Amino acid sequence: MVQDVTTGFIQRLRTRDPQAWFELWEIFGPVLRAQFARWGKGRIGAETVQDLSQETMTALATAIDSHDPSRGVRFSTWLLAIAKYTLTDEFDRRMALKRGAGKKPMDLDHAYDQAGDEAPPDERYEGLIIGAKVEAALRSVERETEMMDFEVYRLRVLEGRQGKDVAISLGLSEAAVSRRLTKVRDRVRSNLGDVMARFSFTDEELEEASRKGLDANPNKASDALFDEAVAEVYQRYAQFRAELDRSTGV
């Protein structure tokens, strides 16, 4: 079943809401770049990777109109199918059209149909997708909360520093650190739930967050586990991105 939030977001994309498109690009552009760099195995330069990821977004603009939730394809698989379609077909298609001869362009719908039949994306790609979602949630929380609150969260959770150190560094009491941490954690939970719902096409995909320890409805005892899970996903994603930068020579 497609979530209401997802449907709403897709509707915004269909109406060509620039904010929605920018959000999609901001969150998943790096994932696309990483995937293209992996497919290229070091033979595709940074500029080509960037170009292909932009072409993918253009293809998405077309695909979003014919998106049918009843097909039961995961969001991540859908995105990957479009990216693959872009990589294998985009330039051949353009050249064939210009010359009026040669290879017929691959049908985007056909590529989309095939998405469900192909082997599921590997763990690394799924790791990138979940990392992008966590980063999107963190970014939105960073925008919505006070800077001091988020810095407490950043130092305590994302950088793993002790509460006492954080308190000394920022000139707060330990109790204040704890309070601010709780406040931001709740917001991260809430926003993460929103992001997950927005970019999940299937229930199974939606439940993935819980499987990774990013449950939106935790109990008190799971706070530490939730923090740990967020930090781990975020760090791993940052590491993926850094490797991408290195491998593509950006």
Partner 1 sequence: MEPMSIPQPALLMSLHPVLAVVGVILASILGFVLLFWLIGALFKGVGWTFSMIGRLIGHLFECVRGIVVEAVRAVGALATAALLLPMAVLNVALGRWAASRHYVRSSGEELRASGASLYLAAIGWPLRLVGLGFMIDGFEDRVVDVVARAPRAEGADLEFEGYRVEATLPPGGSGAQLFLASPTEDHVARMAAQGVQLPSRVVIKAFGLQFGSSLPQMMRENRALEAARNMGLVFEHSSEGERFYYVMPYVPGDDLGVVTRRLHEDAGPEGLEGPALDAVVGYACSLVQIIGRFHEAGVWHKDIKPSNIVANGNQLELIDLGLVTPLASAMTLTTHGTEYYRDPDLVRQAMRGVKVHEVDGVKFDLYSAGAVVYSMIEDSFPAHGNLSRFTKRCPEALAWVVRRAMADASQRYGSAGEMLTDLAKVAAAPDPFAVRPADLPSMGGAAVELDAIPDRPLPPLRRAPRASTRTTPPPLPHQRRRIEHMERVSGRQRRKEAREAHRRARAQRASERPPSSRFAVASLGAVMLMFVFLGFFVVSMSSSSPFSEPMAVATPAPSRIDVSRDDLSNRVELRSGRSEAHAEGALFASAVAPGAEAESAHGPLVVLLTERPHELLDDAERTELDTVVAALGDHLGWRVVSESSDIDFADVDEESLLAEARAAALMKSVGDTSGEDRLQAWIDAGLGPDAVLWLGFDDRHKPTRHQLIASDVENDGRLVGRGPELARLTGLLR
Residues forming the site for partner 1 (CB under 8 A): 16, 18-19, 21-22, 26, 30, 42-48, 50-51, 54, 58, 61-62, 91, 93-95, 97-99, 105, 135, 138-139, 142-143, 146-147, 151, 154, 158-159, 168-172, 238, 241-242, 245, 247, 249-250
Nearer to partner 1 by C-beta: 206 or 214? 214
Of the pair 27, 206, the CB lying nearest partner 1 is at 27
Q: End-to-end CA distance of the chain, in Å?
A: 40
Tokens linked to 233: 């996903």
Distance CA 132, CA 234 (A): 8
Task: Supply the minimum distance, in Å, between the C-beta of residue 181 and partner 1.
Answer: 16
Identity of the residue, 171 or 217, whose beta carbon is nearer to partner 1 in the bound complex: 171
Q: Is the dihedral of CA 70, 71, 77, 83 positive or negative?
A: negative
Torsion, Cα of 93, 95, 99, 102 (10° steps):
-60
Q: Least distance to partner 1 from the beta carbon of 221, Å?
A: 28
Give the nearest distance from C-beta 191 to partner 1 in angstroms: 13
Which residues, at least 6 apart from 87, have a Cβ–Cβ distance to it below 8 Å? 36, 39, 52
The SS3 of residue 215 is coil
Please, which residue, 139 or 179, has the CB nearer to partner 1? 139
Q: How far is the CB of 238 from partner 1 (least distance, A)?
A: 6
